Amino acid sequence: DQQVKQNSPSLSVQEGRISILNCDYTNSMFDYFLWYKKYPAEGPTFLISISSIKDKNEDGRFTVFLNKSAKHLSLHIVPSQPGDSAVYFCAASARGGAQKLVFGQGTRLTINP
Amino acid sequence: DADVTQTPRNRITKTGKRIMLECSQTKGHDRMYWYRQDPGLGLRLIYYSFDVKDINKGEISDGYSVSRQAQAKFSLSLESAIPNQTALYFCATSDSPGQGLNQPQHFGDGTRLSIL
C-alpha cells in the first residue's frame, strides 16, 4: 500500500515558468512533510519542509503548500531554472518521534531552455 | 568533505556472498538510517538507530542486519546476498527532534549494489 504517491513520473517545464510538483498521502497520522531533490549519482538533498500546523512554507524560489483536508501537498518552483532539472521526492513522517520517512516514487523534472 | 560518507560507492558481487556497506558521518547527529531505492518505488527504510545501543527494524529489514559501532558509524550487512537485493542503498542522518519539531534527514551519495 503506497502511503505517499507522486502520480506524475515526469514533468517538463520551460525555463522561467512555474513548476508545480504534486504529492498525495493516505495516512492521516503524517504531520511532517518534506521535499528532496536528487541529481544522478548523488544522494537526495533536503529542499524544504512543512509541518501540519501550517499550510504554506516558502524559501526563496521554492514554496510548499499543504492541504490537509485533501491530503495533498505541492511544491512550486518559480521561476524554474535549468539547474532545477532533477528527480523530486516528497516524503512524510508521522507523530511519535521515530522520524521514519515514507517516500513517494519521485517525479523527474526537466527544465527546457 | 561530505558530511555523510558511504563506502563503497559501487559493488558487484555474487549470490550467497556476505557484503557490508559502511556509513560514517561528521554531522554529530544521533540518528542514522539505511534505505534502499528501487526503480519506480522511491526509498524504503531498512533499519534505523537512535544511538549506539539502539537498533530498530524498518519496513523491509528481512535479509539485512546492521551495526552501530559508534555515534558516527552505521553499517549495513547482507549475510547471504540474493539478486533481488540489487538496488541503490542510501544512508541518512538526522538530529533529534528539537522542542517536538521533526528534523530533516541528510543523505549520503549512495552505494550501487549489483548481485549476480
Model confidence over B22-54: pLDDT tens digits? 999 999 999 999 999 998 888 999 999 999 989
Edge-to-edge strand list for the sheet holding B65-70: B4-7, B19-25, B73-78, B65-70
Residue type, A59: D
Residue of chain B nearest A32, judged by CA positions:
B102
Is B94–A99 a contact, with Cβ atoms under 8 angstroms apart? Answer: yes
Coil, helix or strand at residue B3: coil
Residue ranges of chain B whose pLDDT lies below 50 = none
List the single residue in A41, A49, A93 with the smallest CB-CB distance to B109: A41
Q: What are the pLDDT digits (tens) for A64-109?
A: 999 999 999 999 999 999 999 999 999 999 876 567 899 999 999 9
pLDDT of residue A42: 93
Alpha-carbon torsion (A111, B89, A100, A42), positive or negative: negative
CA distance A99 to A46: 15
Closest CA to A69 of A2, A24, A5: A24
pLDDT of residue B56: 95
List the single residue in A6, A42, A104 with the smallest CB-CB distance to B109: A42
**Chain B residues with beta carbon closer than 8 angstroms to that of A97:** 97
List the single residue in A41, A42, A103 with the smallest CB-CB distance to B42: A103
Residue type, A89: F
List the single residue in A4, A44, A98 with the smallest CB-CB distance to B107: A44
Residue of chain B nearest A4, judged by CA positions:
B42
How many residues in chain B?
116
3-state SS of chain A is CCCEECCCCEEEEECCCCEEEEEEECCCCEEEEEEEEECCCCCCEEEEEEECCCCEEEECCEEEEEECCCCEEEEEECCCCHHHCEEEEEEEEECCCCCCCEECCCEEEEEEC
Is B110–A51 a contact, with Cβ atoms under 8 angstroms apart? Answer: no
The grid coordinates of residue A1 equal 500500500
pLDDT of residue A76: 98
Distance from CA of A42 to the nearest CA of B (A): 4
Chain A contacts to B (CB-CB under 8 A): 4, 6, 9, 31-32, 34, 36, 41-46, 49, 51, 89, 91, 93, 97-106
**Chain A residues with beta carbon closer than 8 angstroms to that of B110:** 41-43
DSSP secondary structure letters along B48-104: EESSTT--EE-TT-TT-EEEEEETTEEEEEESS--GGG-EEEEEEEEPPPBTTB---
Strands A107-112 and A10-14, sheet pairing: parallel
Question: Is any Cβ of chain A less than 8 angstroms from the Cβ of B52?
Answer: no
**Chain A residues with beta carbon closer than 8 angstroms to that of B4:** 43
